[in-house]
């Protein structure tokens, strides 16, 4: 018995000792946060998310958003503020929190009592012709009393008259050509949209003594030549003869009176006289049916071939003034504008989902809310998509199924149409925090131009995540992925990947990504669905900025069934989730290197010889691009060799910081002293046609060799600096 007891005790003791030893180790428990810190993207969750995005919901969003015109700062705009707040504060499908942020910004409006007038008046002061004050009503929407009549925002008020000339697109070269044979002083110029920024048509004109400018959309460009009512909306997607593109007439963006400062109540406002980039002379857009009356009555020489369009005559330059055979003979054109600049309240609506692991890293998703009229496509197609994304994410969040690794910020920007004002004021007010913490900005403004293919423009760092997302989503009406469909319509050959879809560069300031990309250097992406550009000359959907951009138009001619909206929601939402949830940020620095190499090869092939003649070498720039490329390769191999989920979270954070700050490293606030807000030396806007580094291209264009050399140095330092950002060491 003793033996058995001893054996029992022995077993017990050994077992207990083993237990104790193990227990000793077990005391040092693995902290909870060790697992949290490695939270990564969940592919199953993404699939579920994509499946829940509903085209019907998007359609109903659009219907509600476009009930009334919602021009910035009007009651219609305020109604959309409240709609979005209500959605984002919904207890079942809302976000963590949502609020409004108001700015007091300088907007320009026509007079309600004194409409702008374009008329032809003869020598006895008899009015022979008066352009329409309103677009023709085909549907009740056009009769809404809140439809703002066509005008050029920020054109000054004034009453001018003069002989008419035709100045093509209002480019400097157009006026220079006219000026060779005509005395332009005191004339009024009629110009076409395109080829030059809206306000520049008037800024250029004023340099030649022209006193007023008219602008119209040539049906050649927008309607593939169709001019008849029977061939245009409501019978097709084309612009009706009375349709007029409204627009902000300013070269800069952000509130005009408070550059670099958020436009709060007490903020210093510069006098309007100090504002450059807006028309110095009265300017007014008109429909092409009115433009035809004027242009087809002009005297003078035939305009050059590339100045001709689809109006029913040979375009002439003007005598100046009208031809003898016209009823307008000896008459002048009178342009009377009554626009006023007013300080108005404009709201951004902000919504937030707080991040679980890295709340101090932001992914921002935004679109503007204001429209010119009903704005079904521009911007409500984007807002309808955003609201569907927030509904599904909000539901997942409120049901406790998900909280992102990083914080997500949604922005519904105000007063974009007047010059990207809401988003710009936001970046000004929160400049430091956004610069420090923002991983990426996703913009979906016009979500659907047409039904053919995905379209994306982005910082090259984001190309790969766009591709990943687009491979997971079906292209509506096809059996292909968005990616495979896209590659058919718009591709390029990459040195690394072969033939791939063509992601555009964000070199312009066409929507609210501008302040993020150019001013703050935040990796940005802009998504939409597009029509087949090989089948039409239309540069944009024809109802753009007219009173015909309605729910009726959108649902009949742009996206019946709303499946293209849905495809965009899925793409943007997928990219958003990957940016917010991935342990390793899905940003690719080698793709950036490839873009720099592309720009460099352009610079070498077009400029190298010219520069060498002046003793200027591109070699430093070549070396910097090479350094960048090598550094990118090194970082990617470090990433490949890491098991981030098992290593210290500080390692993933370190690499992610390098990727996040990559675009920031290209900023130089003094590189373009005359281009407000453009600080990104690679993607800043460019006048030159050569697709390469903007500061260099524009300097070579102007044959300013000192400036060219200086920009080579600026670029060299910025690109080497971006390489340093990617370097782990010191």
Of 373 and 699, nearer to its own copies (C-beta) is: 699
Q: Map residue 25 onto helix, strand or coil.
A: helix
Least Cβ distance, residue 68 to its own copies (angstroms): 32
Stretch in the footprint of its own copies (CB under 8 A) among 16-24, 199-207, 496-504, 568-576: 16-24
Return the residue of 141, 255, 417, 429 that touches its own copies, per CB under 8 A. 429
Tell me how many residues contact its own copies (CB under 8 A): 87
Dihedral angle over CA of 562, 567, 568, 571, nearest 10: 160
Of 532 and 703, nearer to its own copies (C-beta) is: 703
Least Cβ distance, residue 80 to its own copies (angstroms): 22
- Residues 346-385 touching its own copies, rule: CB under 8 A, are 352, 354, 357-360, 362
The strand pairing partners of 438, in sequence order, are 362
Of 32 and 123, nearer to its own copies (C-beta) is: 32
- Residues 103-142 touching its own copies, rule: CB under 8 A, are none
* 714 is an interface residue for its own copies by CB under 8 A: yes
Dihedral angle over CA of 40, 42, 46, 49, nearest 10: -100
What CA–CA distance (Å, rounded) separates 516 from 442? Answer: 10
Least Cβ distance, residue 722 to its own copies (angstroms): 7
Stretch in the footprint of its own copies (CB under 8 A) among 10-18, 169-177, 474-482, 594-602: 10-18
Return the residue of 158, 234, 620, 691 that touches its own copies, per CB under 8 A. 620
Of 8 and 504, nearer to its own copies (C-beta) is: 8
Decide if 193 contacts 174 (C-beta within 8 A).
Answer: no
Stretch in the footprint of its own copies (CB under 8 A) among 151-159, 181-189, 328-336, 662-670: 662-670
Percent composition of the chain: helix, strand, coil (DSSP 3-state, to 5): 40, 15, 40
Give me the 520-559 binding string for its own copies, x by CB under 8 A, dash otherwise: ----------------------------------------
Of 221 and 628, nearer to its own copies (C-beta) is: 628
Q: Which residue stretches of 559-704 are H helix?
A: 563-581, 589-613, 619-640, 649-660, 694-701
Of 431 and 489, nearer to its own copies (C-beta) is: 431
Of 597 and 657, nearer to its own copies (C-beta) is: 657
* 1 is an interface residue for its own copies by CB under 8 A: yes
* Count of beta carbons in the 10 Å neighbourhood of residue 187: 28
- Residues 687-706 touching its own copies, rule: CB under 8 A, are 706
Stretch in the footprint of its own copies (CB under 8 A) among 22-30, 236-244, 283-291, 486-494: 22-30
Structure tokens at 222: 């927008």
Which helix H or strand E contains 344, and what residues bound it?
strand 340-353
Give me the 560-599 binding string for its own copies, x by CB under 8 A, dash otherwise: ----------------------------------------
Burial environment of residue 11 by CB neighbours within 10 A (0 to 12, 13 to 18, 19 or more): exposed
* 36 is an interface residue for its own copies by CB under 8 A: yes
Of 235 and 356, nearer to its own copies (C-beta) is: 356
486 contact partners, CB below 8 Å, separation of at least 6: 453, 454, 455, 470, 475, 501
What CA–CA distance (Å, rounded) separates 600 from 629? Answer: 12
363 contact partners, CB below 8 Å, separation of at least 6: 404, 406, 407, 408, 409, 438, 439, 440, 441, 442, 576, 579, 580
* 22 is an interface residue for its own copies by CB under 8 A: yes
Least Cβ distance, residue 202 to its own copies (angstroms): 27
459 contact partners, CB below 8 Å, separation of at least 6: 506, 517, 523, 524, 525, 592, 663, 683
Structure tokens at 555: 């649902």
Least Cβ distance, residue 708 to its own copies (angstroms): 9
Stretch in the footprint of its own copies (CB under 8 A) among 5-13, 526-534, 592-600, 627-635: 5-13
* 657 is an interface residue for its own copies by CB under 8 A: yes
* 661 is an interface residue for its own copies by CB under 8 A: yes
* 670 is an interface residue for its own copies by CB under 8 A: yes
Least Cβ distance, residue 203 to its own copies (angstroms): 23
- Residues 634-653 touching its own copies, rule: CB under 8 A, are 646-650, 653
Stretch in the footprint of its own copies (CB under 8 A) among 9-17, 281-289, 484-492, 630-638: 9-17
Decide if 90 contacts 432 (C-beta within 8 A).
Answer: no
Give me the 237-276 binding string for its own copies, x by CB under 8 A, dash otherwise: ---------------------x-xxx-x-xxx-x------
Return the residue of 132, 398, 634, 709 that touches its own copies, per CB under 8 A. 709
What CA–CA distance (Å, rounded) separates 571 from 475? Answer: 10
- Residues 400-419 touching its own copies, rule: CB under 8 A, are 407, 409
Annotated catalytic residues are 416
Least Cβ distance, residue 654 to its own copies (angstroms): 5
Fill in the DSSP letter of residue 705.
H
* 7 is an interface residue for its own copies by CB under 8 A: yes
Burial environment of residue 143 by CB neighbours within 10 A (0 to 12, 13 to 18, 19 or more): exposed
198 contact partners, CB below 8 Å, separation of at least 6: 152, 215, 247, 248, 249
Least Cβ distance, residue 433 to its own copies (angstroms): 4
Which helix H or strand E contains 5, and what residues bound it?
helix 2-27
Least Cβ distance, residue 577 to its own copies (angstroms): 18
Residue position matching structure tokens 């002989």: 163
Of 13 and 637, nearer to its own copies (C-beta) is: 13
Return the residue of 45, 179, 206, 431 that touches its own copies, per CB under 8 A. 431
Q: Map residue 108 onto helix, strand or coil.
A: strand
Of 568 and 665, nearer to its own copies (C-beta) is: 665
154 contact partners, CB below 8 Å, separation of at least 6: 108, 199, 248, 249, 250, 256, 278, 279, 339, 341, 418
Of 129 and 431, nearer to its own copies (C-beta) is: 431
- Residues 155-184 touching its own copies, rule: CB under 8 A, are none
Angle between helices 649-660 and 619-640 (to 10 degrees): 150
Least Cβ distance, residue 472 to its own copies (angstroms): 29
Least Cβ distance, residue 95 to its own copies (angstroms): 11
- Residues 433-472 touching its own copies, rule: CB under 8 A, are 433, 436
Least Cβ distance, residue 602 to its own copies (angstroms): 20
Q: Map residue 590 onto helix, strand or coil.
A: helix
* 51 is an interface residue for its own copies by CB under 8 A: no
* 495 is an interface residue for its own copies by CB under 8 A: no
**Sign of the C-alpha dihedral computed for residues 66, 69, 70 and 75 taken in this order:** negative
* 8 is an interface residue for its own copies by CB under 8 A: yes
364 contact partners, CB below 8 Å, separation of at least 6: 408, 409, 410, 411, 434, 438, 440, 441, 442, 516, 522
């Amino acid at each position: 018995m003793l033996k058995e007891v001893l054996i029992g005790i022995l077993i017990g003791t050994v077992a207990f000792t083993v237990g104790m030893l193990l227990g000793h180790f077990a005391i040092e428990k693995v902290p909870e946060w060790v697992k949290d810190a490695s939270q990564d993207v969940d592919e199953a969750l993404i699939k579920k998310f994509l499946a829940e995005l509903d085209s019907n919901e998007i359609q109903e969003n659009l219907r509600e958003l476009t009930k009334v015109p919602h021009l910035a700062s009007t009651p219609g705009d305020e109604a959309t503020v409240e709609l979005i707040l209500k959605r984002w504060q919904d207890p079942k499908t809302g976000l963590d929190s949502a609020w409004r942020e108001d700015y007091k910004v300088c907007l320009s409006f026509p007079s309600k009592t004194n409409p702008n007038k374009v008329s032809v008046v003869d020598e006895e002061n008899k009015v022979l012709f008066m352009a329409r004050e309103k677009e023709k009503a085909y549907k009740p929407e056009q009769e809404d009393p809140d439809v703002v009549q066509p005008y050029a925002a920020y054109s000054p008020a004034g009453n001018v008259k003069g002989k008419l000339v035709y100045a093509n697109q209002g480019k400097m070269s157009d006026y220079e050509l006219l000026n060779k044979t005509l005395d332009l002083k005191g004339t009024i110029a009629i110009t076409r949209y395109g080829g030059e920024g809206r306000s520049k048509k008037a800024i250029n004109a004023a340099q030649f003594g022209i006193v007023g400018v008219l602008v119209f959309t040539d049906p050649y460009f927008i309607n593939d030549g169709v001019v008849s009512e029977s061939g245009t909306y409501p019978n097709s997607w084309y612009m009706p003869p009375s349709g007029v593109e409204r627009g902000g007439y300013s070269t800069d963006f952000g509130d005009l009176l408070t550059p670099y400062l958020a436009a709060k109540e007490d903020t210093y406002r510069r006098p309007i006289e100090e504002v450059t980039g807006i028309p110095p002379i009265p300017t007014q857009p008109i429909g092409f049916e009115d433009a035809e009356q004027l242009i087809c009555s002009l005297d003078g020489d035939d305009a050059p071939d590339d100045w001709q369009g689809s109006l029913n005559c040979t375009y002439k330059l003007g005598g100046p003034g009208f031809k003898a055979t016209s009823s307008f003979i000896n008459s002048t054109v009178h342009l009377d504008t009554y626009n006023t600049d007013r300080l108005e309240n404009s709201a951004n609506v902000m919504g937030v989902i707080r991040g679980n692991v890295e709340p101090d890293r932001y992914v921002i998703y935004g679109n503007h809310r204001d429209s010119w009229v009903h704005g079904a496509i521009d911007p409500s197609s984007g807002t309808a998509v955003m609201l569907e994304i927030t509904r599904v994410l909000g539901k997942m969040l409120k049901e406790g199924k998900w909280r992102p690794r990083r914080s997500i910020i949604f922005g519904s920007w105000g007063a974009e149409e007047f010059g990207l004002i809401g988003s710009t004021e936001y970046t000004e007010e929160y400049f430091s925090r956004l610069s420090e913490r923002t991983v990426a900005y996703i913009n979906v403004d016009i979500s659907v131009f047409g039904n053919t293919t995905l379209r994306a423009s982005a910082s090259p760092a984001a190309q790969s995540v766009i591709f990943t997302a687009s491979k997971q989503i079906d292209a509506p009406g096809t059996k292909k992925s968005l990616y495979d469909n896209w590659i058919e319509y718009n591709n390029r050959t990459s040195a690394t990947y072969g033939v791939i879809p063509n992601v555009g560069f964000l070199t312009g300031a066409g929507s609210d990504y501008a302040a993020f990309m150019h001013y703050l250097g935040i990796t940005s992406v802009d998504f939409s669905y597009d029509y087949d550009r090989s089948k039409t000359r239309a540069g944009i959907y024809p109802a753009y900025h007219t009173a015909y951009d309605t729910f009726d138009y959108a649902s009949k001619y742009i996206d019946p069934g709303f499946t293209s909206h849905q495809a965009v929601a899925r793409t943007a939402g997928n990219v958003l989730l990957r940016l917010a949830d991935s342990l390793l940020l899905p940003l690719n620095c080698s793709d950036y290197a490839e873009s720099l190499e592309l720009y460099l090869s352009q610079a070498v092939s077009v400029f190298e010889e010219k520069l060498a003649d002046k003793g200027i070498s591109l070699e430093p720039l070549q070396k910097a691009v090479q350094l960048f490329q090598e550094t990118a390769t090194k970082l990617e191999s470090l990433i490949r060799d890491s098991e981030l989920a098992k290593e210290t979270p500080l390692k993933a954070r370190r690499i992610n910081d390098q990727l996040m700050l990559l675009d920031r490293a290209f900023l130089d606030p003094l590189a373009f002293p005359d281009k407000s807000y453009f600080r990104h030396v690679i993607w800043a806007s460019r006048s030159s046609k050569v697709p390469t580094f903007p500061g260099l291209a524009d300097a070579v264009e102007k044959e300013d060799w000192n400036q060219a050399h200086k920009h080579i140095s600026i670029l060299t330092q910025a690109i080497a600096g971006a390489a340093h950002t990617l370097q782990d060491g010191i």
